[in-house]
Amino acid sequence: MSTQTGAAPPPALEVQGLTKRFGGFVALDGVSLAVPEGSITGLIGPNGAGKSTLFATVAGFLPPGGGRVLLRGRDVTGAPPWRLHAAGLVRTFQIPRPFARLTVAENLAVAAPGQEGERLPLPWFARGRIREQERALRRRAMQVLERLDLAAHADRPASALSGGQKKLLEIGRALMSGADLILLDEPAAGVNRTLLRAIAETIARLNREDGITFLVIEHDLDLVAELCEPVHCMAEGRVIASGRMAEVRADPAVAEAYLGMALLPDAAP
Ligand SMILES: Nc1ncnc2c1ncn2[C@@H]1O[C@H](COP(=O)(O)OP(=O)(O)OP(=O)(O)O)[C@@H](O)[C@H]1O
């Protein structure tokens, strides 16, 4: 029998009573939820529920009105994106924004933290070291691209990638930055079925093999059911249900929030 009595580790991310107003409009109305360490947590809800606003507020892109954001138990409320980035929390966007003129590999390389070559001008004796750092970055970028099945595209401009490949590239940029908690905004939106499978498998593999925790906003509820546990459902700026997808889907408040949206194919009794 174990004699350990230590407290349970804190969730990777905990949001407590978060509020956000845009003028008189309440976009987040006291949102509380947890993302367990090592989970792929889902965030669902009808259009306008406040999901992206929650991401923006948690990731430091918008200042919260009130409430707290805890990253592995540490209060990071209102911290700027770069500080959260350095602490391992990275968000992706609904519409990916790679540097269009850089190659796919260069897009990854510039996402790596603390590059000496960024601090110009450089003394002559530092140049060899920087070339070695650049070679190491390229090797690391190629490893990440292999994991994402994008290695064949390494030297193409990022603008040449399809929408789904750009989403994979965004995940790759987060990996290059050393993120271990990734907020993914609608990975399936506008992606064809084949790439959707690739994205779903990539998320599951990075979670399983690399221990990366995800919080995923997604409208494709079958994908959420396949990948995510737990799932939180938001509506009108609040969390209205949390739990396993089957429980959340069966919750009458969720069915009511989605009413008319035909997005709950398995909700009927
Ligand atoms: N910068 C802003 N200024 C004013 N209102 C905003 C702003 N950003 C979001 N909103 C409003 O806040 C509400 C929540 O928007 P949000 O984008 O967070 O919803 P969502 O759940 O992500 O929706 P969707 O699934 O359609 O992306 C919406 O009514 C939106 O119009």
Confidence grade of residue 74 (pLDDT, cut at 50, 70, 90): very high
Tell me the whole-structure pTM to 2 decimals: 0.87
CA–CA gap between residue 253 and residue 236 (Å, rounded): 12
Domains of the chain in start order, with CATH, are: 13-98+167-257 (3.40.50.300), 102-160 (no CATH)
pLDDT tens-digit map of 117-158: 555 565 666 666 667 777 888 889 999 999 888 999 989 999
Q: Which atom of ligand 1 is nearest to the CA of 237?
A: 14
Q: Which ligand 1 atom minimizes the distance to the CA of 50?
A: 18
Is the model's pLDDT at 1 over the cut of 90? Answer: no
Shortest CA distance to 19 belongs to which of 84, 70, 71, 65? 65
Please report the ipTM that was assigned to this predicted complex.
0.96
DSSP code string of 239-265: EEEEE-HHHHHH-HHHHHHTTTS---T
Can you give the length of the chain in residues?
Answer: 269
Pocket residue to mutate for ligand 1, from 28, 33, 43, 53, most atoms within 8 A of Cβ: 53
Cα 91 from Cα 76, distance rounded (Å): 15
pLDDT in tens, 42-52: 999 999 999 99
Its sign, for the CA torsion 244, 15, 27, 184, is negative
